[in-house]
Each structure stands twice: as structure tokens, then as C-alpha cells.
Amino acid sequence: MNQPLVIAHRGAKGEAPENTLAAFRLGLEQGCDAIELDIHLSQDGEIIVIHDFTIDRTTDRKGVVHEMTLAELKQADAGRWFDTRFEGERIPTLEEVFDLVPPDIMINVEIKDSYDRKLEPALVELMKKKDRVHNVVVSSFDHKSLMFLKLLLPETKIGLLYDFNPGSHVNLATGLGVPVYSLHPNFKRINREEIREAKSKGIEVYPYTINDEKRLRKAIAYGASGIITDYPGRLRDILADQGV
């Protein structure tokens, strides 16, 4: 029986404000194996956990993340927009997430923008400082950013995000010329045979973002190595139901 990793997308995004410590805690409570989150750089060089380029959608304030200091970003409430129960929640730094999440839980860090290649060296330094090099997978739609990371720190595990049909998923991974740990396709772009082929070459496959029960069951049956979902509790229940 396939035992995919339960990967909590932006934390338990379906039931808590995305990319906050509350969402990561809920994912952990629901038994996730891994957490996916998104990062940007602040004006003063801190690695910030947030999906969008601005704070407008997910906080009570407005502004461009890269043009704000950490102190300014910390003034925003990142929970109340989702539910008043989460009022007071702040935008976390990646360092705060590393401190919260136990070392046996994998963290999938998604680089949203490399900011003139300033983010990659900062990420390498933080992973080394917090002893997270081996249980972090860094993914991005920007594959050049991932190649730069491999140059800076060859043991970094990198994962290719994509939302197109590459022809051959395996060739997409091997064609980069550096070892690729995992493929992160939109689930619509990959089938059972392609997942099997990638895994047979030692490449993990973590499709995104799968939420409804029927598609979760399909991804399990296809043999995905991990499933990125807004509802880690729901996926955990389905796996338990299947005796996994």
C-alpha cells in the first residue's frame, strides 16, 4: 500500500490562516508528515513566510513585502481576515517556523522570488544555522533559483514546481544537470505511469494541491510520494481508512 507523505499546504490552509504559526501547529496536530510554505525577503534581509508579494490579501494592512522591514511586517495582523479566532496572529519568519516544527517533520520551502539572487544565500545560511539542511526540500517555479542554491550548497534537496506538460517528467528533472530530489507538478499534469517512472529513477513526486476526497484517493492510488493538501486531517483520515 502506498504511504504518501501528508504535506500541509501553507499549513492547514483550509482551516487556519495560511502561512502562520497557527496553521503550522494545526497541521502538526492533524498528523502531517511535512509542511509546505512560501518565502519572500524583507527590505532588511529577513526571510518572511508569506505567499503573495504584498500583505494586502492575508493581513489587515497593505504593503509590498520586499519594501517593508521586519518590524513593519510584524505590526500586521495575519489571522483576523480568516477568522476572529485567529486575531493577533503575526506573519512569521522562516527562522520562527524552523524553531516551531520538530526536526522529524520535513519542511518544503517554496521560493516565490529570489530578489536579485539575494534570497538563496540567506536561505543557505539559515538552514545551516538551524541544522535544517537535510530535512528541508526547497522548491520553486524558478528553476534557475534552485540551480543557484545547488551551487551554493550542493547537498540542498531541490524540488521542481511546474504547471505544464513537460513531455517527459523524468527528463525535466535530469535535464537540469544537477541532482533533483523531487518533482512538484500540478496534479492535473501527471498520470499514474509518469509517477511510477519518476519514482523508479529515485525521484520523489509531490503533486499539488489536492483537496477533495475523490482526488486525494486518486493521488494515493497513483503512488504519489507525498500529497500537498490544504486539509492534512482529511488526507490522514483517508489513509487511516485504507489501513495505512
Q: Which residues are catalytic?
A: 9, 51
Region 184-223 residues binding ligand G3P, contact defined as CB under 6 A = 184, 208-209
Find the shortest distance in angstroms from Cβ 109 to ligand G3P.
10
Burial class (CB in 10 A: 0-12, 13-18, 19+), 119: buried
Q: Decide whether 78 or 170 has the Cβ nearer to Mg ion.
A: 78
Q: Which residue is nearest to Mg ion (CB)?
A: 110
Does 18 interact with Mg ion (rule: CB under 5 A)? no
Site track for ligand G3P across 116-145, x = CB under 6 A:
-----------------------x------
| 38 near ligand G3P (CB under 6 A) | yes
Buried b (16+ CB within 10 A) or exposed e, 202-228: ebbbbbbbbbeeebbbebbebebbbbb
- What CA–CA distance (Å, rounded) separates 127 from 197? 31
Beta-carbon contacts of residue 70 (< 8 Å; ≥ 6 apart)? 42, 44, 46, 48, 93
Q: Would you call 3 helix, strand, or coil by DSSP? A: coil
Residues in the chain: 244
Q: Which is nearer to Mg ion, 35 or 170 (CB)?
A: 35
CB 193 within 8 A of CB 213: no
Cβ neighbors of 191 (< 8 A, separation 6 or more) are 222
Least distance in Å: CB of 113 to Mg ion?
12
Interface segment toward Mg ion; rule CB under 5 A; list 35-43, 76-84, 90-98, 235-243: 35-43
* Alpha carbons 31 and 15: distance in angstroms, whole number: 14
Residue 228 engages ligand G3P in binding (rule: CB under 6 A) = yes
40 binds ligand G3P (CB under 6 A): no
- Least CB distance to Mg ion at residue 139 (A): 8
For residue 14, give the DSSP letter. T
Distance separating alpha carbons of residues 6 and 26, to the nearest angstrom: 13
Q: Which CB, 111 or 128, lies closer to ligand G3P?
A: 111
Q: Which of residues 59-118 bind Mg ion (CB under 5 A)?
A: 110
Q: How far apart are CA 190 and CA 122, in angstroms?
A: 33
Task: Tell me the window of 30-38, 68-76, 100-108, 128-136 that interacts with Mg ion (CB under 5 A).
Answer: 30-38
Residue nearer to ligand G3P on the CB measure, 110 or 194: 110
Q: Which is nearer to ligand G3P, 54 or 75 (CB)?
A: 54
Site for ligand G3P contains 36 (CB under 6 A): yes
The footprint of ligand G3P (CB under 6 A) covers 9, 36, 38, 51, 110, 139, 161, 184, 208-209, 228
